[in-house]
Structure 1
Amino acid sequence: MQVMQPSQLFPRPENDGHIMASWERFLNGERAHGNALRRLIDDSWQRCLDASVDPSRYQAPEPLGENSLYSLRTEHHELLTASTPVMAEAREFLSETGTVMVLTDHQGTILSLEGDSSTSTRGATENVHLLPGSDWSENACGTNAIGTALTLGQPVQIHSAEHFCAGIKRWTCSATVIRDPYDNRILGVIDVSGLNGTYNRHSLALVVTTAGRIENRLARIEMDYRYRLLEQCMRNLATSTADGLIVLDRRGLPIKANERASAVLAGLGEDVAGRRGLTLNDVSLGVARGDALPDHLPDWIRPEWLAPVMHNGQRIGTLLTLPNRSPASFVAGGMQEGETGLASDKGAFARVIGQSRNTLEAVARARQLARSNVPVLMLGETGVGKDVFARCMHEGGSAKDGPFVALNCGGFSRELLTSELFGYTDGAFTGARRGGMIGKVEAADGGTLFLDEIGEMPLDLQPHFLRVLEEGEVYRLGENKPRKVKFRLIAATNRDLRKEVEEGRFRMDLFYRVAVTSVHIPPLRERIGDIPLLADYYLERLAQQHGVRKGVLLPGTLEALQAYAWPGNIREFRNIMESMLLTAPDHILGDECLPPEILGRGAAPVESPSRPFAQPQVASEGNRLEDAERDAILKAIRNHGGNMAAVARALGIAKSTLYLKLKRFDLDSLVDSVRSIRN
């Protein structure tokens, strides 16, 4: 980047007449002469001419439509989050000055605008399309502070006749780029614009200072992400394992590795054709969002080695597990079953949403058992997702290419369950289907049979099923010839089968046959830390299903969800999220969308292992007042679409006081979300 000389930094309004004459000669094919025209303007005009920009243009192109602008703002959410509180102050000191402060993305498209809201200023900005969604790059609008700052990558001030397009020559503007504090790439532009009578050299200092403040906020956001990422991965890094573990940031670059990573990388390098001695410098994956694979995955990295690290439903990094294939890696004393390091690569269990220790331990055990063909008993309350675990075990086992057949033993009478389980021949009983019917046991041949609620199987039917397991043969009803079957059994129950055996409701021999080993799936109240991930997952999935916007879940509402006991577990959670999504006003999921039991008039809060709650106590008067104040602010923000001036008026407080309260209640980031949805 070439730094401009001081004489080139600022325009000289007294030269407007000479500059206008130079522009007319330039359009007629003559080169400018004299020192009235700054070099940066001459160069910019030439770029505009080369790009066939229409010099008679009187306004920017039409702004983006509502949906496109919403998508663009979502894409640049972090820049908006960092800029919103800084630009909000512009509303104060630019009021009645006839100027506005503009934020654009890295291509010059306006994301937001603050400043003088008088009728005359608003009319002037609308006339030239200085509006959210408008493109102000040089190729779109000719020489102007936004587009020229992007081209030069440094602060510029463009005044009046210096603009290339005729319709914009009434304006004066100052702009500079906003750079990513991590890699110095340009993220956007901050600009102050007004009609030429508002010209002030200090406007350039204002935008440079504002850009610096925004970059500082971006740096703090980046550091917060890194601290959370390292905090969540520290247990994995500290685990005794022969595998190499590398923590990668949101951009797919390594920031931390365990002591084995370098040695394992070097060994992997020997296995890659044409490569020798891989190092951490060779690890660069590119950006990844959600559960998707990174943009630029090297050919020597297998997808199953990667595990996303999530926080509040957002991907903040990736954990890369490099398997150590050397013989020494199999010595005793390595990572034990159930440790979170084992579960970092979910593989076939990717559909199990959650990163809490309880969830990862259940996944690690189920994944280990999936490799064998022994019967497994899934233990857990109703609605915890036993069927999901069963299907994941099938897909992660040796029978994954075979059928997966599921049957709920509690959903049929004894006669119907017998038919469903074993099948029947033609004419086996009155009402039998012509040609007979294949049973679920036979249908699962070569694959997996999942029997949900096996504790509901009638006692007199149990010995027949036990014979199938022991002999590998099934008899259809009405048939005397056995059929050979081979399948993997996964059973599930929410009952205590040992107690059922003691009380004579379940056969002991069948119990020991189906419960060779077991997997306990924790209830939702024991993995409260997974609720943000589950909320984000279901809001995304349900929004696609119903064709609506995903919406924004307010932090206070998320806390209420985490404090609830969830007797219906994941099934209840999914239903409530669907109800909230479809009834939320303005796509903002607040407390008013919650059912009464979650608002404290139902089940009591349960202590969370990942986020312990204090001992239950009566809320103090101060706490109740703070809650009421926070709710009032949230309601006002929603009602006024994030317009802080209107919010302050509605609440009867100064805007400076309002911003202090937003910071106190950690509501800063919600303002932009509300604005994005409203716009």
Structure 2
Amino acid sequence: MAIHDLIHKGRDELNLENLLQVKNWMTPSPFCIKEGQTLREAAEMMIENRVDGLPIVTEDLQFIGIVTLRQALYYFVNGQENELVESSILKRNYAVINQFDSIFSVFSMPYNQLPVIDTSGMLIGILTKRDILDGFSKYIYRLQQKQNSAEVLNVILESAYEGIAVVDENGILQEFNEAYSRFTGIRRDDAIGRHVTEVIDNTNLHLTVKTAIPERGVVQNIQGQDMVVHRIPIIKDGKVVGAIGMLIFEGVTEIYKIYERLQENHIKDQTEERPFTLNKEQDSRMTLDQIIGVSDAMTTVKRLARRAARTAATVLITGESGTGKEMFAKSIHHLSPFATGPFISVNCGAIPEHLFESELFGYEEGAFSGAKKGGKPGKFELADNGTIFLDEIGEMPLMMQTKLLRVLQEREAERVGGIKKYQINVRIITATNRNLKEMVDKGEFREDLFYRLNIIHLHIPALRERRQDIPILLSYYIKEICDKYRIKTKSFTQEAISAFMQYEWRGNIREMLNSIESLVTLVDGPIIELMHLSESMRGFEKGVIEERKPLISKGLMEEAKMYENEREKELIIKALKTAGGNKSKTAELLGIHRTTLYQKLKKYNVT
């Protein structure tokens, strides 16, 4: 059987044909009456054993016929109860069946009891209408189980954080789950049916089918990032019919993190507990797999960031305050060709205007009153062969915008008070929580600088726009904060988590992190309940509890999924309106196949 059949016909083979065979539902060695006995004896036997009929057999169990309770009653009424049982079968009132027949084929026979005989004519069982109904009931149950198993497997595939891909014996993709789709940016519908080498970078999955050799924990570079993967052949009846590929970790960095945790635990066991003030300095390095988020919005941004990192192009990161713009900037730096150089961060909103130029480009000795002896290098010099991150670029004065534009164009700068220019070889990443396009329209930001900075644009979604990530963020940060304060790990009740998911979080992750830290330090017990949350969170929870009541009773992942579905439905309705109800145009606007659109319209009951 091909891998396509294994996947799309249930994965778990259930031999329903064998299940339906008569031998599985008949009553073996049934009560019988032998020829030569009377109808009275037959009636007494039927009453005693509570059956409606008895097979009539010879001494060597050869089947002759059936006597029913109704026939016996007829002879009793006519005073013939002492007649022999074989006299009641003057004409054929039965049909015989084989133990290998299907109950489907015998169901329509107009008899309440069906004798089952072997090839020699010996009676081996009896099949009643009730037996047939029991068989049908079990058959339907197994069909439902099979369907549920397929659905459960599909849910598991689509809920998995790891990317999962399945190929057939020819290396053609038969399964490509949502996690893999988000990571590669290739839609599932577009991936399935194509050769795996056309979809996944540097894959050997098609070779696994040929060699039948499993590979576990190997490193594969996908979209410029080293990933840890498994490749496992699928064997059916001694033949390789396909292979499964899995991204076990989001990146090799995850292995280092595991190793570091093992080391920390080992050291903790061998040394005395250190004072709270002697915390280990956090490594400033940051990679995308350390940024928490599995929602579509975050995985899309991560994918774009990976692609941006492979180039030297200037990147503009936008998003509300507290969304993690600097984390993305560091991640891009450490995945880029400039990773061996320094990462220099400059907060443009914190530098006084008269010091801006000297801070960015440095100054020579004696350039101004109070200048250090020997001068001072600027941020651009310090970032040589690395990355300079200009945070809050929207706060940069117009005069400095002009000088920055010239530096970007000429790739050289000059210290304040100096006469010699120096070359600039840095990667430039900027970030802002302001709308630069509106600032350009108002004359507050140079248009030419805006277009120079906006070569690659990454917009980090607000926390309220990716609510399904909140449970994962809560789980991570509560453990981190408990470890920080060296207290036993605490947990949230479902009601408290629901309130976290419903709150607007105008301060985004920074606000949520402060809330978690406050709760961890102030709540005495190990469980953080709804009543422990701030009044504003509880008030917001009460305001929307009726609207979201069905969500609160469900599991967290299911709750997050429902948020995602609501947003998807809204997008589809909006696209339909934009397309004037045209389904083909709507599918094109959404970037999905028309068949997929029809499925989603049916799913959300949208007409």
* TM-score, normalised relative to structure 1: 0.44
For the pair shown, the structure with the greater C-alpha radius of gyration is 2
* TM-score, normalised relative to structure 2: 0.49
